[in-house]
Structure 1
Amino acid sequence: MVRRGITGAPPRTRRLTRPAARLASDSGPSERPGVDAASRRLVLTAGKDRLSVVTDTDIVPSGSVLVTGAGGFIGGSLVRELRQRGVGRVRAVDIKPLDAWYQRVPDTEQRVLDLADLKACQEAVEGIDLVFNLAADMGGMGFIEANKALCMLSVLINTHLLMASRQAGVQRYFFSSSACVYAADRQVSPDVTALTEGDAYPAMPEDGYGWEKLFSERMCRHFQEDFGLHTRVARYHNVYGPLGTYEGGREKAPAAICRKVIQAQLDGSGAIEIWGDGEQTRSFTYIDDCLEGTLRLMDSDISEPLNVGSSESVTIDQLVDIVEAIAGVRLERHYRLDAPQGVRGRNSDNTMIKRLLDWEPTHPLEGGLRATYEWIASEMGLRASASV
């Protein structure tokens, strides 16, 4: 299936051979686009019953913090955000070798551990007050469709980490769930009604990955009810941004489309491949909103799962339109109708998070895609010629 557009193919550029989505730094934490470091001034008082101190703009967790999955996109970004907000002791854990971490944040304790093992979890939580569990085997639709058993094995990570956290007296535990927990029969149309937290039941989640996330949500609930371990659960909706995976099969749609548009310019093909017919709908959440929502939820007294996602719904074709406009090109589109597509439509209903946290994601899709495109273009060796 092909739709033709006006092709604008710039001269070919050699692709750089640097690792995908990886940042190694020996200097102090750097700011992401749109982050104002000057506004981060601590207020000196904090209630003794709180797990954070309050700044004029930010929540700053107090005590010792563990971030699992810290070698990945969201986990690594959270470690960096915690350090930028002034958190003193952050332990970063991932199964990947250190040289494969997407980000390595200075002045943090970094450990390589397989958290599917209970003893490794016990080592990870020793002396820790707050746990942010972002460790999982996951990726884009192509990956989770082809690796259902591997995705489900992540249940060992959350189960053992909950057990170890209870034994170690951890004060609060955060679990990163996913919009993939929502019932498939509520997502059969592109003009889907935005999903509320109650739409996860009766249960019919994404096979493999979605079932693991839903089961792990229940584990968090019952560890709080039965053992008094305070748990928090966020259902992330398609998180994207700079420093994320953009190739190799684990990337999600925003990064994949950015990469394909850039590659079409590098190789002069003037065309890109799109999985599906382009009419499926999604909402995409910029990394800064994901981190802010995560920290606000962790600081709250809300134990029920909450959507952390943008409510700005677009079709995949509209997503491509935005990236093409940023790049200043129009490309021929080849539609692969036999490729994994996931549900027909998915969007986040933010009624509950606005009511309970007085907040919802604020970054518009175009701005987040621009930052993402420019970073991927730099990684791939294409000087970004973004339109203003």
Structure 2
Amino acid sequence: MKRALVNGAGGFIGGHLVKKLKKEGYWVRGVDINQHQFSTSEADEFLLLDLREEENCKKALSVDHGTFDEVYQLAADMGGLGFIHSAETQIMHNNILINTHMTHNAATFGVPRYFFSSSVCVYRDMQPGEPEMHEFEAIPAKPNNEYGWEKLYSELMAIAYSKKSDMKVRIARFQNCYGPEGEWHGGREKAPAAICRKIAEANDGGEIEVWGDGSAIRSYTYVADMIEGIYLLMHSDLEGPVNIGCPQYVSVNELVETVCEIAGKNVHTKSIDGPVGVHSRNFSNARIYSIGWKAKYSLKDGIAETYPWIKAQVEKNSAAGRK
């Protein structure tokens, strides 16, 4: 039986990854600073550890009779645009510590395969209609936020350790991931969850607030597709960063329209000041396509799975507030 360590197992993508690995027959240890807030972890063992501390990274990696076959490093201090643009020092400080200690010790422990979750935030601002950007074009670097700079540095560090050890490193640059059991309120939620929550809370014919004019263009990747991409990439021969994302690009306004369609509501938007991020993103998925991955969920398909879950959370939260 293969053994896998999932750092960030209490988080959204990490929690879903644990489930995938268990289905594939792994013995899994999950590690996070918090338990998963929406479900009980399916990991065989779950350790509450602050991975900013090097000794805790060593504890996470320590296992009887050898080492882990695979380590998935998804632990990070992160969130949606609001959080990324208000917690720059916190993000850079915490994530660099986590990645420095975990990457170094995974190589020292002799881990054969190491996965690092990066982000398309490493890329520069793009304009709508620009040609697809490939992974190598992230350098010369010009990320539009500190989260992107932290991810880019951590990528390079992982690659450097792979050159100095026998550890095979796989790096995925995630596009916006969404789905059930993710952050949906509190400031760390991403756009699909935030829009789902606002529309669930709104009356039919009501109004919701949207940062900016709604023209910013993004790709949103459903969590099941992302998990499959992670698993295929980890077991592939692809070295260096790999983009993973749904090729369907939509504006924030189109995202709102899609959620409204699934919710069966007619909701108007009001533009307000707030962090919008880059104007557009358009990335090549050729590398991940080369190993047989393709997104199976359209935005409408994914929202159809996500909106009912978030609506249920809104109703549960509202009922608790009335007690």
What TM-score does the superposition give when structure 2 sets the normalisation length?
A: 0.93
Mark the runs of 5 or more structure 2 residues left unpaired by the alignment: 317-323
Q: CA deviation at 1:278?
A: 0.8
In the alignment, residue 196 of structure 1 is paired with which amino acid? H
In the alignment, residue 149 of structure 2 is paired with which amino acid? W
Mark the runs of 5 or more structure 1 residues left unpaired by the alignment: 1-61, 383-388
What residue number does 2:72 align with? 132
What residue number does 1:156 align with? 97
Q: CA deviation at 1:183?
A: 2.0
Deviations 1:38-92 (A, max 9, x none): xxxxxxxxxxxxxxxxxxxxxxxx52100001111000110111112322x1000
2:169 aligned with 1:231: yes
- 3-state DSSP class of the match of 2:260? helix
Residue pair 1:71, 1:104 contacting (<8 A) in 2 also: no
In the alignment, residue 15 of structure 2 is paired with which amino acid? G
What residue number does 1:59 align with? none
Q: Tell me how far apart the structure 1 counterparts of residues 131 and 79 of structure 2 sit (CA, whole Å).
A: 25
Q: Equivalences for 1:275-290 in 2 at 5 Å?
A: 275-290=211-226
- The list of structure 1 runs, each at least 4 consecutive aligned residues, that deviate by more than 4 angstroms after superposition, is none
Residue pair 1:183, 1:201 contacting (<8 A) in 2 also: no
Q: Tell me how far apart the structure 2 counterparts of residues 173 and 103 of structure 1 sit (CA, whole Å).
A: 26
Q: 1:332 to 1:101 in 2, by over 3 A?
A: closer
Residue of 265, 268, 275 corresponding to 1:340 = 275
- Higher RCO (CA-CA < 8 Å; seq separation 6+): 1
Q: Tell me how far apart the structure 2 counterparts of residues 261 and 223 of structure 1 sit (CA, whole Å).
A: 46
Q: CA deviation at 1:333?
A: 1.0
Q: Tell me how far apart the structure 1 counterparts of residues 297 and 240 of structure 2 sit (CA, whole Å).
A: 25
In the alignment, residue 270 of structure 1 is paired with which amino acid? G
Which structure is higher in helix share? 2
Q: Equivalences for 1:14-53 in 2 at 5 Å?
A: none
In the alignment, residue 180 of structure 2 is paired with which amino acid? P
Q: Tell me how far apart the structure 1 counterparts of residues 120 and 40 of structure 2 sit (CA, whole Å).
A: 28
Residue of 140, 164, 181 corresponding to 2:122 = 181
Q: CA deviation at 1:104?
A: 2.3
Q: Tell me how far apart the structure 1 counterparts of residues 283 and 295 of structure 2 sit (CA, whole Å).
A: 10
What residue number does 2:133 align with? 195
What residue number does 2:242 align with? 306
Residue of 354, 370, 384 corresponding to 2:304 = 370
In the alignment, residue 80 of structure 1 is paired with which amino acid? K
What TM-score does the superposition give when structure 1 sets the normalisation length?
A: 0.78
Q: 1:269 to 1:101 in 2, by over 3 A?
A: same
Q: Tell me how far apart the structure 2 counterparts of residues 346 and 132 of structure 1 sit (CA, whole Å).
A: 26
Deviations 1:273-331 (A, max 9, x none): 01110111000000011000000000011121000111100011011011111111111
2:157 aligned with 1:219: yes
Deviations 1:175-197 (A, max 9, x none): 0000000123xx1x233433321
2:201 aligned with 1:263: yes
In the alignment, residue 280 of structure 2 is paired with which amino acid? G
Residue pair 1:77, 1:103 contacting (<8 A) in 2 also: no
Q: CA deviation at 1:232?
A: 0.5
Q: 1:107 to 1:353 in 2, by over 3 A?
A: closer
What residue number does 1:205 align with? 143
What residue number does 1:113 align with? 49
- 3-state DSSP class of the match of 1:225? helix
In the alignment, residue 313 of structure 2 is paired with which amino acid? E
What residue number does 2:113 align with? 172
What residue number does 2:86 align with? 146
Deviations 1:206-232 (A, max 9, x none): 321000000000011100112232110
Q: Tell me how far apart the structure 2 counterparts of residues 151 and 190 of structure 1 sit (CA, whole Å).
A: 28
What residue number does 2:286 align with? 351
Q: Tell me how far apart the structure 2 counterparts of residues 165 and 107 of structure 1 sit (CA, whole Å).
A: 20
In the alignment, residue 137 of structure 1 is paired with which amino acid? D
Q: Which has the larger radius of gyration?
A: 1
- Could you say what the CA RMSD is over the residues aligned between the two structures, in angstroms? 1.5
Q: May I ask how many residue pairs the two structures share in their alignment?
A: 311
Residue pair 2:79, 2:188 contacting (<8 A) in 1 also: yes
Q: Tell me how far apart the structure 1 counterparts of residues 299 and 132 of structure 2 sit (CA, whole Å).
A: 17
Q: CA deviation at 1:366?
A: 0.3
Residue pair 2:6, 2:73 contacting (<8 A) in 1 also: yes
- 3-state DSSP class of the match of 2:218? strand
- 3-state DSSP class of the match of 2:229? helix
What residue number does 1:273 align with? 209
Residue pair 2:2, 2:25 contacting (<8 A) in 1 also: no
Q: 1:103 to 1:158 in 2, by over 3 A?
A: farther
